[in-house]
Amino acid sequence: MWFQKSVTIRPVRRGFHLITDEILSQLPELAGVDVGWLQVFIQHTSASLTINENADPDVRIDFETAMNQVVPETLDYVHTLEGRDDMPAHVKASLLGPSLLIPITQGRLALGTWQGIYLCEHRDAAPPRRLVLTLQGDSRR
């Protein structure tokens, strides 16, 4: 079985935002998959996706702090037409990546107890973000 749909994530401020529940609420088809994969792909070059701890909100602050240290906005970037945060956003998005592949077991994402899906927004004023969700797997019996 294959299934695919596009979803839009509302605009969020710069930072790391848990979107696991938002994805699940827009993907009731997941319940019908016994074993398979969900690919989550973001159709943007200045935001990214990652999986990490979903319990302590301080993790989100620390992610933003660390990424700003790794990719500072103060470098002498050449690509500056879209603002000082644009090129650093592209670099951060490339470091973290545009997609995730998550196993499905008995109609549920096989995430660990403390894992969640993050939208990593690297722009100060971002538009809504589009995700393509692709399910592949065997239907539940």
Distance CA 14, CA 31 (A): 32
Query: What is the CATH number for 51?
Result: 2.60.120.460
The whole-angstrom separation of Cα 99 and Cα 4 is 14
- pTM exceeding 0.85: yes
- Tens of pLDDT along 31-50? 999 999 999 999 999 999 99
Can you give the residue range of the structural domain that contains 18?
2-139
> What is the end-to-end Cα distance of the chain in Å, rounded?
13
For range 19-27, the mean pLDDT: 97
Mean pLDDT across the stretch 94-113?
98
Task: Please report, rounded to a whole number, the percentage of residues in the chain having pLDDT higher than 90.
Answer: 96
| CA gap 128, 35 in Å, rounded | 31
pLDDT at residue number 141:
59
State the total domains in the chain.
1
% of the chain beyond a pLDDT of 70: 99
